[in-house]
Structure formats: structure tokens, C-alpha cells
Amino acid sequence: MEKLSGLHSIPSPTSHLCGLAWVDGFLWYSDGRESTIYKLDPVYGETLAVHRIPGVNAGLSYDGGYLWQVTGSGPLSGPKRVTRIVPESGKVQEVVGLGVDSMYVAGVEVRGDMVWLGLEQRGRLQRRRLRTGEILRHYEAEPRIAGVTEADGSLFYCEFDQRLLVEVNPETGVELARYLLEGNPTGVTWDGGHVWYNDYTGKRIRKVKPPR
């Protein structure tokens, strides 16, 4: 298995690395202990904005207009939701329940009225209708699935314990490739050319480029 070498990294602003999203040239990062999301300069790691969001938990996504943050009471302790946030102001616009098995949700990727979910512990990838919860696709995955992101026609997810980045065909669920990462990954995002992920053990946000 190929190990992906880090091309660049910045220090995480806090110690409990959760979600990660790429928004118009900047990284957005979330911390579940602080219930806070941060806008970061991807070159130097400078904090450019901070928003307090109640119940931050696990993954973060950007749909082209809004941030979507998984929120809830804690790992495996109750139902989780996804909260729609205006990036510029931090204002919460909407909170949507995630339905069946929501307590296991770790990764999230919102696209229009659809959402990809990574179900930690269950080891599942699901594509659902965001507001009805209807399950459209259901794929088996590694058991400690963390972040999920769409990238150039593929779906990528991170697996925490084995330190993996796994590429999947989103139409069939067939695994296309897997790569070993430095550190234990949580949130993951795509900047249009590279994958960024939160290295929980190293307390850094790292950039890599899977072979295409």
C-alpha cells in the first residue's frame, strides 16, 4: 500500500480536530470540545475568523454557499443533526435531523438536497436525501470511518485506526484505491487538486495528492 507524502501542513488551532472544509481558497476547521469553527489561511495557518456553533460534533462540509456542520450531544450518545451556517457571519440558518443511525454519523458531504454520510462504528457510506433521510445508496466501508469528501468524480473517506485514505466509486461503491496517511485522520476535504485532512495525533492539517 502506498503511503502518501505530505506536501504541506499547518498546525491545528486546537487539540480536538473534527471537521474540515475548503471554501474559496481557505480552510474551515471545527473543534467539538469548543463547539467552534475556524477560518484558516492554508499557507501559514493563521486564524482569520472564529464562530461559536452549539453542539459541534464530527464532520464539516461546504455546498458552494453554506457550511454544514454535524452537531449533536456527543459520540454515540444521541441523535445527530447537520447545521447550515453562513460562513461570513457564523449565523445558523437551518438545523436538519439526520434520521436513522444518526448517532453514528462522523463524516458528511452535502451537495444540494443530497448528503453523503460516513457512519462510524457501523462502517458504512450512505447517500441520502438531506431533508427526508431516504437512503439512496448504501456501501460497506472500514469500521472507523471519519471524514468524507467528493473529489474529481470519486468519493474519499478517512479511516482513523488504520490511518487510511480510501477512494471509492460513488456510483457503485467499488473501492478504487487506498493509501496510508501520516497520523490518525478525522475530517477531510478537497481543494480542487489536493486532499486535506486533519491529523488528530499530530495536531496538524495536512495536504496530500493521491495519484490520479
pLDDT, tens digit (0-9, with 9 covering 90-100), for 151-183 = 999 999 999 999 999 999 999 999 999 999 999
3-state SS, residue 210: coil
pLDDT higher than threshold 80 for residue 212: no
pLDDT at position 122: 81
75 band by pLDDT with thresholds 50, 70 and 90: low
Residue 89: inside a domain, yes or no? yes
pLDDT at position 76: 55
Residue 182: inside a domain, yes or no? yes
How many independent structural domains does the chain possess?
1
Q: How many helices (H) and strands (E) does the chain have?
A: 0, 20
Residue 51: inside a domain, yes or no? yes
- Bridge partners (DSSP) of residue 195 are 190, 208
CATH of the domain at 28: 2.120.10.30
The b/e string for 89-107 (b: 16+ C-beta within 10 A; e otherwise) is ebeeeeebebbebbbbbbb
3-state SS, residue 103: helix
Residue 1: inside a domain, yes or no? no
pLDDT higher than threshold 70 for residue 45: yes
pTM of the model: 0.96
Residue 9: inside a domain, yes or no? no
> Phi then psi for 169, rounded to 5 degrees?
-75, 120
pLDDT at position 74: 58
Here the cell at position 5 is 507524502
Rounded Cα–Cα distance for residues 79 and 103 (Å): 5
What mean pLDDT comes out for the span 35-62?
97
Q: What percent of the chain has pLDDT over 90?
A: 94
pLDDT higher than threshold 70 for residue 116: yes
Q: Domain range for residue 92?
A: 14-208
